[in-house]
Structure 1
Amino acid sequence: MGTPVETVASALPDSARAVLAELATSGAATRPQLGTKLNLSKPTVSAAITQLEAHDLVTAGGHRQGATGRTAVVYNLGPGAGHVLGLDVGSTFVRVRAKTLDGRLLAERGEEVPAGENANALAGTMLSSVRSELGAAHGPLRSIAAATSTMVGPVAPEGSRGPAVLEDLRRQLDPPESVPVLVENNVNCAAIAEMTHGAADGVDSFVYLQAGVRIGVGIVHNGSVVRGRTGGAGEIAYLPFPWGSGASPQRGELESYLGSAALMQRCRESWPRGHGTPPAQPAELFALAAQGDSAAEAAVRRHAEDLGNLVTATVAVLDPELVVLGGGIGQNHILLPGVQDAVRRLIWETPITTSQLGNEATVLGAVALAADAGLAELTRTPGTLSKNVRALTR
């Protein structure tokens, strides 16, 4: 099942850990490439490779021709480096991904949560199935990261169901004793995915705005996720709404107004008589708008302006380098011009784009978080993504 983390970490010198981390984060490389990237001498790189091969952490995988015409052996992570698991435990759909520490996909699952069934229980069943499929062929399981719609933080707000939900999740996943299990808010995980290989790749400070059945914001500042005291940073559903003369804000009303159910209700109420049957689902609405249907275009235009108002509030508080729109509603490209127009009218110019990761964003962020934590455990170095993420312990 691979070498225990503690044994490997204590046996590896700093140079070997650096080589292992470089192969995990940047992919396959030759010895000369590793030496140049890490500023290590040829003998040091060779010694590091030998030590890593002894633990089955690195393996040779073919040859690559260099600029001088000579060929060099290419090295990849070996089976001993192990693998990680990421889960998106949504209220209606659960996704699981298994990947190596250098990002190679090993297995994936996706299932709807049957009516009345516990999403955490389904996640545990799917996780067990994937682990059985992988067996010992891909080395030890190094880390698990689960994304949940619950607020996740060191301090639970009064009346929050978060602690009970997280305890149920830990029980259902039933992880091996030595495997760390991290849990993160689903919108924060989607933001991590955008930062690692999405629209915000290379951007230090941005916000990911999820608009779908629910709304929320993932905040990234200087390359780190902002979580807040209770884990509630970005819970924009609690912004006072409506807010104006004679209005009385209601708790969570903004999410009720901007959620997909309310969007479709407004669409039905405003649908012109004699214009045919109004769309029943958001996907149908956006498809009609893309085809030039005037009633659908009007509904989408109104919703884009509403989302633009919300983006404006976010920009006014955070002043990010970029805003990424995602979620079942927000990821529709047809909304983008209207959102941009609303923001431009109300506040300073801010780059706004649409997520390219679709419904996979959250699980991709979860598995990236797991890989970061697994590599940190293996090399005894601080994680960058997993720093300060809550761990589910026995």
Structure 2
Amino acid sequence: MIVQTKPKGSNAERSRYRNRQAVLGQVREAGAIGRAEIARALSLTTQTVSNIIAELCHDGMLLEKGRRSVGRGLPAMQYALNPKGGYALGIEVRPDAIFAALLDMQGNAVATERVALRGNRPDAVMDHVSHLQTQMLDQEPVARNRMLGAGVVMPGPFGVTGITGMGSDLTGWQEIDAEALFAERLGLPVVLSNDANAAAMAERINGVAQGIASFAYLYFGAGLGLGLVHDGQLVRGAYGNAGEIGHIPIPGLGGKLEDALSRLSVQSHLRRAGKEARDIDMLDRLFQQRDPDLMAWLETATTALGHAMAIVENIFDPQAVVLGGAMPDAILDHLVTRTPLTDLSVSNRPHAPHPRLIRGASGRMTATLGAAALILNRALGAPGSNVH
């Protein structure tokens, strides 16, 4: 689910807000750009763009980067994002830990923190979140008065559904207004999303899905999630629970998809063999050693991923499927190269511009950084969008 604060006020005020977003989006895409170029790209008058740029420079969000000669006349002043002009907080709540990241305007992580959880009920989580926010603002004091908002990601499903009570659930959150709770505690506008959606948008903004308008993102969190992006927008479903693919039964595997294809799955498999793999570093070491128990799990996992691909491709017709999340790169690469892809798929087409299955971003902080990226994406906007 995505819940976000919408600009309020008159139509003129909303138009001004969107135009600011669009100008920032153009600057972000170009790196450095002049007023006339922005005006042409957005079909706005040069005077309107000049006024917006003056405001953004006054607010500290843009910097002058010197003049560049463009044809005849006075060389045009170039403008770029001020990295310290705004900050986004990303919070990821997992069943056993909270991850936090503070990103500057250019998407650089200036502070990251992690805390282990003994319990994940709302009161315990909120106490940790407040402490993490204080820690990171202490590391980057200039951010205190320049916060753009907070992105919060949590594993789905949201609300009481027929698939609650699973190992990847958070305790006591099903009937909580999480967006309001986080907004009150953090004192910031909040975007609430599941972890797969946040990771998908991070790939769309800064990852392998740049330039891919419609794609699916299979995300390794504790379980297995699916983020769907169509025409650059997330597909959320009626209650924010679109993409709960991990709970789909898979014939022949004796259970649901994430029983064979998730971090909980591989950890349980290895534990039954008397081995521990508490984090992705330990999983990576086992893979480099070609541990026989891990390789046996991967054999089943590739079969399960093949089933998942057939479902995703034939239902959603994506340009590509991206695989990423809290797994080592080597394991993701193994899954990408070894997974059997059925010929009976709408994605099996000649001269396709993208591979059917692509390895995306990986690591512990994938969804955390994605959460903060949701805030930056909202503040900076897509180039050329929301112009009035």
Unaligned runs of 5+ in 2: 1-6, 165-171, 349-354
Amino acid at match of 2:311: A
C-alpha distance in structure 2 between counterparts of 1:79 and 1:329, whole Å: 30
Matches within 5 A, 1:1-394: 9=13, 18-24=22-28, 26-40=30-44, 42-53=46-57, 55-66=58-69, 71-77=75-81, 82-100=86-104, 102-105=105-108, 107-116=110-119, 118-135=124-141, 139-152=145-158, 156-157=160-161, 161-164=172-175, 166-167=177-178, 170=181, 174-176=185-187, 179-211=188-220, 213-241=222-250, 243=251, 253-263=256-266, 266=269, 280-281=276-277, 284=282, 287=285, 289-290=287-288, 297=295, 299-329=297-327, 331=329, 332=331, 333-339=333-339, 342-344=340-342, 347=345, 349=348, 351-374=356-379
C-alpha distance in structure 2 between counterparts of 1:149 and 1:63, whole Å: 45
- SS in structure 1 at match of 2:312: helix
Change (3 A) 1:27 1:235: same
Amino acid at match of 2:186: P
Contact kept, 8 Å, 1:145 with 1:183, in 2: the verdict is yes
- SS in structure 2 at match of 1:217: strand
Return the TM-score normalized by structure 2. Answer: 0.74
Contact kept, 8 Å, 1:28 with 1:74, in 2: the verdict is yes
Amino acid at match of 1:89: V
C-alpha distance in structure 2 between counterparts of 1:79 and 1:258, whole Å: 39
Deviates more, 1:310-319 or 1:131-140: 131-140
1:71 Cα deviation after fit: 4.9
C-alpha distance in structure 1 between counterparts of 2:336 and 2:14, whole Å: 51
Contact kept, 8 Å, 1:150 with 1:165, in 2: the verdict is no
Amino acid at match of 2:263: S
Return the TM-score normalized by structure 1. Answer: 0.73
Contact kept, 8 Å, 2:336 with 2:359, in 1: the verdict is yes
Contact kept, 8 Å, 1:80 with 1:139, in 2: the verdict is no
C-alpha distance in structure 1 between counterparts of 2:211 and 2:236, whole Å: 20
C-alpha distance in structure 2 between counterparts of 1:296 and 1:159, whole Å: 28
Contact kept, 8 Å, 1:16 with 1:51, in 2: the verdict is no
- SS in structure 1 at match of 2:365: helix
Q: Which has the larger radius of gyration?
A: 1
Contact kept, 8 Å, 1:145 with 1:182, in 2: the verdict is yes
Contact kept, 8 Å, 2:228 with 2:243, in 1: the verdict is yes
C-alpha distance in structure 2 between counterparts of 1:71 and 1:80, whole Å: 27
Contact kept, 8 Å, 1:84 with 1:374, in 2: the verdict is no
C-alpha distance in structure 2 between counterparts of 1:213 and 1:106, whole Å: 23
Cα deviation digits, residues 134-161 of structure 1 (max 9, x gap) = 4456643232210111334xx6537955
Change (3 A) 1:145 1:288: closer
1:305 Cα deviation after fit: 2.3
C-alpha distance in structure 1 between counterparts of 2:101 and 2:314, whole Å: 36
Amino acid at match of 2:374: L
Contact kept, 8 Å, 2:179 with 2:191, in 1: the verdict is no
1:17 Cα deviation after fit: 6.3
- SS in structure 1 at match of 2:106: coil
Change (3 A) 1:50 1:233: closer
Amino acid at match of 2:154: T
C-alpha distance in structure 2 between counterparts of 1:319 and 1:11, whole Å: 34
C-alpha distance in structure 1 between counterparts of 2:268 and 2:358, whole Å: 27
Contact kept, 8 Å, 1:205 with 1:320, in 2: the verdict is yes
1:325 Cα deviation after fit: 0.9
Matched residues, percent identical?
24
C-alpha distance in structure 1 between counterparts of 2:221 and 2:318, whole Å: 22
- SS in structure 2 at match of 1:359: coil
Amino acid at match of 2:215: F
C-alpha distance in structure 2 between counterparts of 1:374 and 1:14, whole Å: 9
Amino acid at match of 2:337: P
